Structure 1
């Protein structure tokens, strides 16, 4: 299905929700983040992140994307991420040790969901973990949907911080992604590296935080699935895929929303002509509930076949997907095997959704548990 909608910023866009159409367009190189006249292009939101396009031609956009994938693919390969698994497992165990020392109920969002992805991405990129509260504020600011000044200030601060870190690593490189980016990039590209690194730092923790929280909520609301996983932890990878597919019990997005992309050439699909320059919203959440692909899509249940589009598809498939899967699998394996009971300490309706932020999620996640 393709229809005309209005974005949160009040501009017109095409919304695509059919699974096969979304999958096709995710792999279409004529869709991207570039526009010949970004200042006058339709906006998705007032956030500096995905709010509006950048200025580039279709060729420049695809060349930049190809370069980025070539630079990052070795560091984020599935093989390299598997090598991180023992370290991630140790971090999860440590964080859960700290959690159970707290009085109940305790905030799982703060104790585990936030700390784990930050610890891992800081180690990978070579970002000092002690700076986490600072870049956390900037991350939340830059993803704000309704305050363009706050969003721009957050992005500027994050970019400046990364620029300073890049300069330090030019003098003292380490065994990390940013140092390898510097080594593999011609001189004079420091700003490009800083911007790319800022995006990696944001995406490497904010999105995973929200998915961990979502998994806790879904397992709390579906105790039969908790019991099934407790009896057979080998099915946890299937549960992780279902957590990735399933929408959050806390809705923060309109059904008339999706992943913003711009047509860099005229596109004809399903009998609809999309002119070059138009904004297209790829309804991944809606596609993940397409009954033709996911029987009983509103039911949370691990599935043997789960071709969800949460990480995208084709040449723009999320490069951080292997890392996210390692983190999610280790978190829920530890939670299911370590606790006899575990779940929300309050009704879902009492949780505070972060509606003003691009990644959504919740502000706190109070939980109770008994140790097995």
Structure 2
């Protein structure tokens, strides 16, 4: 069965959908979203302020807000604009790798490269001053805590307050950054709306990419044939897509999990009716392992095509997908260009995980290398 009832981390019940075709269809279904008629009494996914519970909205209000958000962001995060960012991303990456190789081996790749790179990139795009980025890091990590509601709420409140001040400053003194352009192109938008959107961007623009970069290092360490294949520059995009499709080999969370959405009307899946108001978990990880669409799904190989659902599908397809792809591609290309050998310095089973964070991933990633 591609649908079943499961408990959430918060202890409530949800519908988990795992089949590729079903998940793909629901990702594009406007009857599912983050809105709910009675959010205070709705089933919860977790105690995190991020995706933990719904907000009060009808399906019409939800879809209108989403359309507004996409109008605000799509121009800035277009594939063309993100391609233009490649040289700057590579410069930031080379600087981080310079710092990495100055350390004794093994060194922590997560702390030296995976974590700071997406933070630097998204903060630079949005116009966050360099001196404020370390504070942002602590707020972002607090926001995504899944088992401490007060900590998560406090992190979001601090970040939103900061972004409100930043938006107000940029309204008076605009610069060449995404926040200033959103203000200039949408003069009728309220400052708080832009601040909330910017706070969400700061979080979404780095957490998942950090995890993907770490996952790439782990997967390439376990599959040296794909590391060698990267020496052909034409192989990089295919390896990037396979990294995006795969779950981390060290992921031990329950398979009964997924992207939380709420049914804003009755929805039928494989003959089962999901009542309006119920929580639905879209099992993207499980869908990406559906052998009807991915032969030998556990294998880490270059696939053409690779129609994974990691960025969603349809009208909710991730606005930040072009940026994440460029960051991951530049990281892989930089590693294979700079090092003749590179990989984990510990067994996968020995790696420490970020078990309290919504996105998961690793807390440290010890690596060794041989420079070219």
Give me the TM-score of the superposition, normalised by structure 1: 0.98
CA distance in 2, matches of 1:146, 1:290: 30
CA distance in 2, matches of 1:186, 1:337: 45
Q: 1:228: how far off?
A: 2.3
CA distance in 1, matches of 2:90, 2:137: 23
CA distance in 2, matches of 1:66, 1:277: 22
**1:229 matched residue in structure 2:** 230
- Cα pair 1:252 1:360 within 8 Å, conserved: no
- Cα pair 2:78 2:322 within 8 Å, conserved: yes
- Cα pair 1:252 1:354 within 8 Å, conserved: no
Describe the SS at the equivalent of 1:134. helix
The reply to whether residue 279 of structure 1 matches residue 279 of structure 2 is yes
The reply to whether residue 311 of structure 1 matches residue 311 of structure 2 is yes
**1:262 matched residue in structure 2:** 262
Superposition RMSD on alpha carbons, in Å? 1.1
Q: Which moved more, 1:307-316 or 1:348-357?
A: 348-357
CA distance in 2, matches of 1:296, 1:145: 33
After TM superposition, the structure 1 = structure 2 runs for residues 182-201 of structure 1, keeping only pairs within 5 Å, are: 182-187=183-188, 189-201=190-202
**2:370 matched residue in structure 1:** 370
The reply to whether residue 292 of structure 1 matches residue 289 of structure 2 is no
- Cα pair 2:3 2:269 within 8 Å, conserved: no
**1:128 matched residue in structure 2:** 129
- Cα pair 1:138 1:154 within 8 Å, conserved: yes
Q: 1:128: how far off?
A: 1.3
Instruction: Note the alpha carbon deviations across 1:18-57, whole angstroms, 9 max, x for none.
Output: 0000000000011000001100000000000000000111
Instruction: Note the alpha carbon deviations across 1:230-265, whole angstroms, 9 max, x for none.
Output: 3x2320110000000011012153101000000111
**1:250 matched residue in structure 2:** 250
Q: 1:71: how far off?
A: 0.9
CA distance in 2, matches of 1:150, 1:310: 28
Q: 1:184: how far off?
A: 2.9
Q: 1:223: how far off?
A: 1.3
Q: 1:89: how far off?
A: 1.6
Q: 1:110: how far off?
A: 1.1
Q: 1:299: how far off?
A: 0.9
Instruction: Note the alpha carbon deviations across 1:161-213, whole angstroms, 9 max, x for none.
Output: 11111111111111111112222334561111111100000011111011000
Question: Which runs of 5 or more residues in structure 2 are unaligned?
Answer: none
The reply to whether residue 334 of structure 1 matches residue 321 of structure 2 is no
**1:73 matched residue in structure 2:** 74
CA distance in 2, matches of 1:12, 1:94: 47
Question: Which runs of 5 or more residues in structure 1 are unaligned?
Answer: none
CA distance in 2, matches of 1:303, 1:187: 45
**2:347 matched residue in structure 1:** 347
CA distance in 2, matches of 1:92, 1:252: 30
Q: 1:96: how far off?
A: 1.4
Q: 1:224: how far off?
A: 1.8
- Cα pair 1:35 1:262 within 8 Å, conserved: yes
- Cα pair 1:211 1:244 within 8 Å, conserved: yes
- Cα pair 2:183 2:189 within 8 Å, conserved: no
CA distance in 2, matches of 1:205, 1:12: 30
- Cα pair 1:141 1:153 within 8 Å, conserved: yes
- Cα pair 1:233 1:337 within 8 Å, conserved: no
**1:101 matched residue in structure 2:** 102
- Cα pair 1:252 1:353 within 8 Å, conserved: no
Q: 1:303: how far off?
A: 1.0
Q: 1:269: how far off?
A: 2.3
